[in-house]
Amino acid sequence: MPQLRLDFPGRPPQTRATLMKHFRVLFIFAAGAFFATACAAQQSGLLDGILALVNNSVITDLQVEDQIITQLPALRITCGTDTNKFIAEVNKLRENELESMEHVKLILDDFTKGEYTTNWVDDAVKAACDQDLKARFSGRRETLIKYLHQLGMTYEDYLKQKREMVIVENMLNYHTGTSKIIISPSAIEKYYHDHADDYKLEDQVKLRMIQVPQSPGSPPGAGRELAGDILRKIDSGVPFAEMAVVNSSAPQRTSGGDWGWVDRKGLRKELADVAFSLKAGQHSSVVEVPGDGKDPPSCYLLMVEDVRAAHVRPLSEVESDIEKTLQAQRGQVLEDQWMKRLEAKARIFIY
């Protein structure tokens, strides 16, 4: 039996205390239940990778890695050459994802064991899948299937994931729904004045981006050649977003390479210089960015959907956002209280 561990492989010892804060209810539960789950995990080859057991449900190191892996390319771009910052940010991602997965399992268990209605679930899952297909894959099922294949997922895996997502979202709304939280106009105005600097905006572009890495094992120039093929398809009329979903290696691929509104500080200089030279509706040629010691060189294609000059956003423009922020803060308090109640009656074991 592997030894009890409270860290991830490669995590500096000083971060173990941070991980401990995320788990407020830790106790070894009934031996029979634990060993039954552990033996089942061992038979399936998962035991060495177990990070936690939540009400007999297993969370593995591989599951955590699968959830954060797509975020790493963008994180590398943001951190640049600061290796210590990159490592610290990766550790935060791992800790936050483990806590999030713990909460998801607690919520799903509560839904299964609680007295909640279930006749709405199938219709809600179908609606979520239809919306996802339209928004992310231009309504093309074959594009979705190709994307799932690249992730090593089946359509059944996708449906299960969507079902869990729908249940969790509805359970959160039921217990912490922000629509039930009333924020006064005076509270909104006070927040606006207290956070005035937050509404000062630099020049921005609404950006989509495709990243094509030059893999170490590939022939020299393979990344640029692939990026060139993608560019020719875009020039021939294929939507930029569709090409991003299929070809980009960055996490934004799932939303068609959409980075939203970004300023220069949000991009590496090589990419910022190109992005802010484009006009609304224009896309770049292939942009080659050298490796930085951690990553191989990559080729990028950028598309600017809109541009926005520096300005201070007026209260009328941000009032709705502030209301949502204050509602979310209150909703987070309610969620934390709910999680404490679920944890208090749960069996959680950090392995």
- The rounded percent of the chain whose pLDDT value lies above 70 is 85
Q: What is the pLDDT of residues 193-204, one digit of tens each?
A: 999 999 998 999
Q: What is the pLDDT of residues 226-242, one digit of tens each?
A: 999 999 999 999 999 99
Residue range 282-306: mean pLDDT, rounded: 88
Quote the pLDDT of residue 295. 60
From the CB of residue 50, how many other CB atoms can be counted at a distance below 10 Å?
22
Residue range 216-223: mean pLDDT, rounded: 83
Quote the pLDDT of residue 2. 29
Residue range 169-192: mean pLDDT, rounded: 89
Amino acid type, 107 = I
Q: What is the pLDDT of residues 314-339, one digit of tens each?
A: 999 999 999 999 998 998 999 999 99
Count of H helices and E strands in the chain?
13, 9
From the CB of residue 348, how many other CB atoms can be counted at a distance below 10 Å?
20
Q: What is the DSSP secondary structure assignment for residue 4, as one 8-state letter?
A: P
Q: At residue 279, does pLDDT exceed 90?
A: yes
The model's pTM: 0.52
Q: How does residue 293 score in pLDDT terms, banded at 50, 70 and 90?
A: low
Quote the pLDDT of residue 180. 74
Report how far apart, in Å, the C-alpha atoms of 54 and of each of 110, 133, 253 are. 12, 32, 31
Residue range 9-18: mean pLDDT, rounded: 32
Quote the pLDDT of residue 350. 79
- Residue 46 burial (C-beta neighbours within 10 Å; 0-12, 13-18, 19+): middle
Quote the pLDDT of residue 219. 85
Max alpha carbon distance in the chain (Å)? 65
Quote the pLDDT of residue 132. 94
Report how far apart, in Å, the C-alpha atoms of 211 and of each of 92, 130, 246, 260 are. 24, 27, 11, 16
Rounded Cα–Cα distance for residues 261 and 74 (Å): 15
Q: At residue 32, does pLDDT exceed 80?
A: no
Q: At residue 351, does pLDDT exceed 90?
A: no
Q: At residue 208, does pLDDT exceed 90?
A: yes
CB 166 within 8 A of CB 326: no
Helix (H, G, I), strand (E, B) or coil at 75: helix
Q: What is the pLDDT of residues 122-153, one digit of tens each?
A: 999 999 999 999 999 999 999 999 999 998 89
Q: Please provide the average confidence, as pLDDT, over all residues in the chain.
A: 84
Q: How does residue 294 score in pLDDT terms, banded at 50, 70 and 90?
A: low
Q: How does residue 1 score in pLDDT terms, banded at 50, 70 and 90?
A: very low
Q: What is the pLDDT of residues 80-98, one digit of tens each?
A: 888 999 999 999 999 999 9
Q: What is the DSSP secondary structure assignment for residue 314, as one 8-state letter?
A: P
Domains delineated in the chain: 203-309 (3.10.50.40)
Residue range 44-69: mean pLDDT, rounded: 81
Quote the pLDDT of residue 296. 67
CB 211 within 8 A of CB 250: yes
Amino acid type, 19 = L
Question: How large is the C-alpha radius of gyration of the chain?
Answer: 23
